[in-house]
Structure 1
């Protein structure tokens, strides 16, 4: 005992001496980059803010995109009950695809387009499943803006339950705090279609931040404000319904709507009861939050995380007209109407419906930042989930992925 007390005394004294002799910088938190210094004060440690600030960077995003529960406060969307067992009929991907005048194989595609994991379903069965970069079937991946398509389904479920009377109701009928701002008089349908007309340019130039970049920093990096807050005071630049302009703020408003009409619940709780449990998910999903419980809310515009197979279950439910795990989870008419393009899709381009993107071949996809896809082609009974880590400025990988997905639609495994 005396020896132990002596060692503790010596070590304690050494620690005090070392601290006294250390330079001041060694005792302080790591410094924040200028864009983070200029924003609101935050209780989030500087080191965590910098990790969140850097999470999109190409040298680490293969890891950060599947480690969001280490970077953020989260709210669980737990599974329960019987798992929806997915049938298998494994096949090699024995086809090729054309891109930029050259022919490639699927194996080349995986590397060329920065793939973390990919699953292909044909005729309701898994025919291909591949995990890369130390991920596996238990890994939960960040869906980014694929989350918008989940929000669309939650709106459809609330509509089916009568919690929302009509998509053509003005949003302030449910969210009166939006009166007096740019969202007043905008219908739920127009928000679903990204045609709200409010002044929120989805531009993330963090060195010269506009409203979207500033909101990202304040709400997600620093947790100093809630992501949906700008909706209260934002101005209008277009008449509602006239101009398509992609805005994550629109989806945040829809999330607030779901929360408000759910009867005092949270987005995660409503999704658990009405989608995730009925779907027969294999593992819990989770949302990242823009603050601690009691203040923070789920980032329902781009913050849902799940496994590759559970994303595939969601895609298969959509392909089956809202039916999954032996039950009708969402009205088939909602599946059809919410994925129908608002305007005809020009050849070689993509269109938009209600929180889903549309291909010119009749297929549609949930689409997330830097290469996240839940692709559904009901005509060929094809579902593809691709989870990626595109470099932030990489646009060619998106075009190549579109070519690959269309080739999968035309492929018949034998």
Structure 2
């Protein structure tokens, strides 16, 4: 029988500790290094590891998680809810309809996996008929809106107009932000900015291998926090005559956020809470990601709002009801109508792809339906004809958004036509 030698446990522990100390005394060789795109320029106080995490936030293998964890990655500012929440009534029903896409017919439940869905909520006639959470998300998850935030910023402009803080959307933006005099925004009206017709030379292109103004702004403002996102508006040049050309650009909405901050005398988050989130009857606090620390940073009003699925649905239902939430007028009815009327008509040849534009709202067609739309598949879709609201929270793969976007358009049309039993 073989004898087994048992090592003295005290001796083993001592050897382990001494070894660890020796290893710890060696020069560090595994420090993280910023990718080339983030090197150079002003020195950032954001830790290297956090910059790298922010840099990868859109990546297709992790965005199902990062898109509901933005408060772990960015400085944030809370949009507080208060009072008795508006509890949306519900009559649950199975998604027992089909939709057609690419010459094939699919069941509605197939849509969820086919289009990278994290959460889906469908309302008919003011009632929730379906509410689905996937990939470990739940009713408490706060999802990044991305450019759905632009539609929320439009609502805030409408509130400031109703409050008399903005005299007219025909006013030049420099009447409120004189810092923009002498640049591309000089002579541009608030209406033209709302309609993405400012004409400034800011191409919404994020080719980080060959970065332009937008790519550099993303890096410096959002990843490194060394500049404010809207500040490039001070010196931006002009590419087109104001009002002449539709060209989607997040900088326009960042300027609108700056406008809200200036005329309201508070933060964008504070004004959102006061004019939208509290009167809406939101169930949960929301938040904006910031482009810097409090005291210097601003809310990313072009794409940084985060909220729960149901609270996004309340925005859609409020818009469907002419600005009313639970019987209370929150947004002026006139602004709902004005801000969702086409300034750039939809292209009927674009199959399911949002192509028309209003004032920070997209149009899938020219039927009167409209949608808040965010990067990589975020939707608040409103169809007044069928009294349908759909909220879809997604994690489309970056660079491969066209097919799931078109398929989502087909689903939304079918959902509008659906009459649940």
Task: Please say whether Structure 1 and Structure 2 have the same fold, judged by a TM-score greater than 0.5.
Answer: yes
Paired residue for 1:410, among 406, 411, 417? 417
> 1:325 offset after TM fit, Å?
2.6
- 1:166 is matched with 168
CA offset at residue 334 of structure 1?
0.3
> In 2, Cα distance between the equivalents of 1:79 and 1:380?
30
Higher deviation after alignment, 238-247 or 354-363: 354-363
Structure with greater Cα Rg: 2
Alpha-carbon displacement from aligned partner over 1:47-93 (angstroms, at most 9, x marks no partner): 11111000101000000000000000000001100100100011111
Deviations 1:378-411 (CA, angstroms, capped at 9, x unpaired): 1110000000000011210000000100111111
Pairing of 1:115-264 with structure 2 (within 5 A): 115-263=117-265
TM-score (norm 1): 0.95
- Offset at residue 326 of structure 1 (A): 2.6
Q: Paired residue for 1:353? A: 358
SS of the residue corresponding to residue 25 of structure 1 reads coil
Q: Give the superposition deviation at 1:135.
A: 0.2
Task: Please list, as runs of the form range in 1=range in 2, the aligned pairs for 1:228-377 lying within 5 A after superposition.
Answer: 228-263=230-265, 265-349=266-350, 350-360=355-365, 361-377=367-383
| Counterpart residue number, 1:4 | none
- Are the counterparts in 2 of residues 183 and 198 from structure 1 also a CA contact under 8 Å? yes
Aligned residue in 2 for 1:57: 59
Map of 2:8 onto structure 1: none
Contact 1:39 1:217 in 2 (8 A): no
2:18 aligned with 1:18 = no
**Residues 60-79 of structure 1 mapped to structure 2, 5 A cutoff:** 60-79=62-81
Distance, in Å, in 2 between the alignment partners of 1:195 and 1:342 is 10
Aligned to 1:397: 404
- Matches of 1:165 and 1:316 in 2, distance apart? 28
8 Å contact from structure 1 (residues 118, 386) kept in 2 = yes
CA distance in 1 between counterparts of 2:305 and 2:167 reads 27
| C-alpha contact 2:246 2:344 (8 A) present in aligned 1 | no
Q: Secondary structure at the match of 2:182?
A: coil
- The aligned residue for residue 6 of structure 1 is none
Deviation per CA, 1:349-402: give whole Å up to 9, x if none: 320000000121321000000000000001110000000000011210000000
- Alpha-carbon shift at residue 13 of structure 1 (Å): 7.6
User: How many equivalent pairs are there?
Assistant: 403
2:345–2:357 CA contact under 8 A, matched in 1: no
Question: What are structure 2's unaligned runs of at least 5 residues?
Answer: 1-13
Cα distance between partner residues in 2 of 1:159 and 1:370 = 31
Structure 2 partner of 1:380: 386
Residue deviations 1:8-56 (CA, integer Å, cap 9, x gap): x9999876543322x4323x4x001100013321011111111100010
Q: Report the RMSD for the aligned CA atoms in angstroms.
A: 1.5
TM-score by length of 2: 0.93
Q: Partner of 1:183: helix, strand, or coil? A: coil
Unaligned runs of 5+ in 1: 1-8
- What is the CA–CA distance in structure 2 between the aligned matches of 1:243 and 1:228, rounded to whole Å? 21
Match of 2:104 among 83, 102, 105: 102
Instruction: Kindly provide the CA deviation profile for residues 270-308 of structure 1, in whole angstroms up to 9, marking residues without a partner as x.
Output: 010110000000100000000110011100100000000
